[in-house]
Structure 1
Amino acid sequence: MTRTFIAAIAATTVLGAAVSAQTLGAVNSEIGKVIVSAKTGMTLYTFRKDAKNTSNCYNDCAQAWPPFTAAASAEAKGALGIIGRKDGTRQWTLNGQPLYFWAGDAKRGDVTGDGVGGVWDAVRN
């Protein structure tokens, strides 16, 4: 699997919107190019049961699907947003969709969570 991280630029176009290259990257995977955390290279997912700018994944769900959390100093920009979670943490969103990792992914660019339960989707570029 070839990694193609977005690093040396201030912003890039992902899903048609400018986002911070320090937050997101892209990796070629077995299902095509997917969006990943620039820091970890791990694939990001969306949950079809979420509402726009609202996470519905807590407790056991959040154990299996850890939210992509934003630091207190992080700032939203363009399509890349931040929402508050019930537990007080902040979570990144892309176009209003909360972003998550999948505990079943073991290495950079894994996409084993894509399609799980018919409600989880890897974010494609």
Structure 2
Amino acid sequence: MKALIFGIAAAVIAVVPAIAMEPAKTMETSLGAVFADANGMTLYTFDKDKPGESNCYGDCATNWPPLMADEGAMAEGEWSLVERTDGTTMWAYDGMPVYTWINDTKPGDVTGDGVGGVWHVAKPGAM
């Protein structure tokens, strides 16, 4: 009987869809409220991206790591998912992919804002 109950419970868990979530939190910085990842690291957008399309690969992605989505992640509201050319999935806010910056060393750093004139902090409602 225990095996039957366990089997039914496992089957139910397997068919429950992933829970939609927001992948980032808002935090206050010297530039005001910005989006940050789960570790408190500031998120950025890249002017060379297009809505729903990342153009940051190779050295760019090494310096600006994409905010990757877990397998089965589901987006809602202003958050969406963007498929990368390697088949992985990253998060986007209002369609624009978001990234962290390798030179930010602690939560709340915003040293990537304005880099190359094409990187900007991701702010709620500012996209």
TM-score bracket, normalised by the shorter chain, equals 0.7 to 0.9
Q: What letter matches 1:46 in structure 2?
A: T
Counterpart residue type for residue 60 of structure 1: D
Q: How many residues align?
A: 105
How far off is 1:64 after superposition? 0.3
Q: Secondary structure at the match of 1:40?
A: coil
For structure 2, list consecutive stretches of 5 or more residues without a partner in the other structure. 1-19
Bigger-Rg structure (1/2): 2
CA distance in structure 1 between the aligned counterparts of 2:36 and 2:47, rounded to whole angstroms: 18
**1:21-100 matched pairs, under 5 angstroms:** 21=22, 23-37=23-37, 39-100=38-99
Unaligned runs of 5+ in 1: 1-18
Moved >2 Å (runs of 4+): none
Contact 2:27 2:35 in 1 (8 A): yes
Letter in 1 for 2:119: W
Q: How far, CA to CA, are the matches of 1:73 and 1:20 in structure 2?
A: 11
- Between Structure 1 and Structure 2, which shows a larger proportion of helix residues? 2
Aligned-residue Cα RMSD (Å) equals 1.3
Give the drift of 1:20: 3.6
- What's the % identity of the aligned pairs? 46
* Deviation string, structure 1 residues 58-117 (Cα, Å, up to 9, x no partner): 001000000000011210111100011011210000110001000010011110000000
> Counterparts of 1:124 and 1:80 in 2: how far apart (Å)?
13
Instruction: Give the structure-1-normalised TM-score.
Output: 0.80
